């Protein structure tokens, strides 16, 4: 399979369409025509939580100047309505321009799996897609059993399995942290996934400390916190023949208390 070209996140990228899906559909089952905007229905599996109005206006300005570079793709519902498969943003831009109709490639039939996967694939190419939105969409696909495993999911959407696992792990973070991530539109999934190593009650405080760091600096800080945690957990080490206590950094009062207990242990050994 040919490697996908790196997406250029200019306005032209708004016309991205998953060629592997549309090319697999026989020509007799798809055709181009004008569709009334009022007949369009959003894909119920569309992962976008919200569309950025500023970006829609920019796309509308581009369409006004250059025209529609690529038709949207819709599924014929056979009831005079059409479900958008690809092109929700283009349709929104046309609505902003008060257009009555838009050019569309009409598909007469589509597997449920493809209807679920298609908008995820499309939206993964958007630079403004948040990792939480992606994670929620991927989690939904797995819960719907559209695919059986994370490996199947990774093949279907063109992401590595490790990337899929990393994105899904974001949903395990604390609710407060996820709210903050959404509020500031933080998008580094790698850093967010690494925050799972931090105790849940400390995740928000830790995130607020590193959220403005560059990725490598943030990951190093999280690694250092993890090392400190390990040292704390290994205050006492023991084997069949010895017991060692690490008292570095412990206050004098606690050391005095430890000595009392050690005397009791010494008496037991004698």
pLDDT tens digits, residue range 49-76?
567 788 889 889 999 988 988 899 899 9
The reported pLDDT for the residue numbered 159 is 83
The reported pLDDT for the residue numbered 229 is 56
Q: Which of 94, 108, 119, 107 is nearest to 18 (CA)?
A: 119
Supply the Cα-derived Rg of the chain in whole angstroms: 27
The reported pLDDT for the residue numbered 208 is 94
Secondary structure element (H or E) that encloses residue 141, with its range: helix 131-143
The reported pLDDT for the residue numbered 220 is 92
Percentage helix, strand, coil for the chain under 3-state DSSP, each rounded to 5: 55, 10, 35
- Please report which residue ranges of 103-196 form alpha helices under DSSP H: 112-123, 131-143, 150-157, 161-169, 175-184, 189-194
Q: Which of 181, 148, 184, 180 is nearest to 167 (CA)?
A: 181
The reported pLDDT for the residue numbered 47 is 63
Rounded CA-CA distance 165/198 in Å is 18
pTM, full prediction: 0.59
Spans in the chain with pLDDT lower than 70: 1-29, 47-50, 125-128, 227-234
> 107 CB contacts (<8 Å, ≥6 apart)?
22, 25, 29, 30, 73, 74, 75, 76, 85
The reported pLDDT for the residue numbered 3 is 42
> 171 CB contacts (<8 Å, ≥6 apart)?
132, 135, 136, 139, 178
């Amino acid at each position: 399979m040919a490697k996908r070209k790196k997406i250029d996140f200019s306005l032209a990228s708004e016309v991205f369409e998953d060629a592997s899906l549309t090319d697999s559909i026989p020509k007799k089952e798809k055709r181009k025509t004008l569709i009334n905007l009022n007949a369009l229905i959003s894909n119920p599996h569309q992962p976008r939580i919200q569309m950025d109005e500023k970006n829609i206006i920019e796309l509308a300005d581009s369409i006004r100047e250059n025209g529609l570079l690529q038709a949207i793709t819709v599924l014929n519902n056979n009831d005079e309505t059409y479900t958008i498969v690809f092109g929700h943003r283009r349709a929104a831009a046309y609505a902003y321009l008060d257009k009555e109709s838009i050019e569309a490639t009409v598909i007469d039939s589509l597997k449920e799996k493809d209807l679920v996967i298609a908008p995820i694939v499309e939206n993964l190419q958007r630079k403004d897609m948040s990792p939480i939105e992606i994670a929620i969409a991927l989690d939904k696909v797995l819960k719907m059993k559209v695919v059986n495993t994370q490996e199947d999911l990774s093949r279907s959407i063109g992401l590595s399995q490790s990337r899929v696992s990393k994105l899904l792990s974001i949903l395990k973070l604390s609710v407060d942290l996820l709210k903050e991530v959404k509020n500031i539109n933080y998008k580094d999934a790698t850093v967010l996934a690494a925050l799972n190593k931090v105790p849940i009650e400390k995740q928000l405080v830790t995130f607020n400390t590193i959220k403005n760091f560059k990725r490598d600096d943030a990951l190093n800080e999280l690694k250092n916190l993890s090392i400190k945690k390990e040292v704390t957990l290994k205050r006492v080490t023991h084997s069949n023949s010895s017991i060692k206590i690490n008292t570095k950094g412990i206050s004098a009062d606690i050391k005095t208390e430890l000595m009392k207990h050690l005397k009791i242990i010494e008496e037991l050994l004698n």
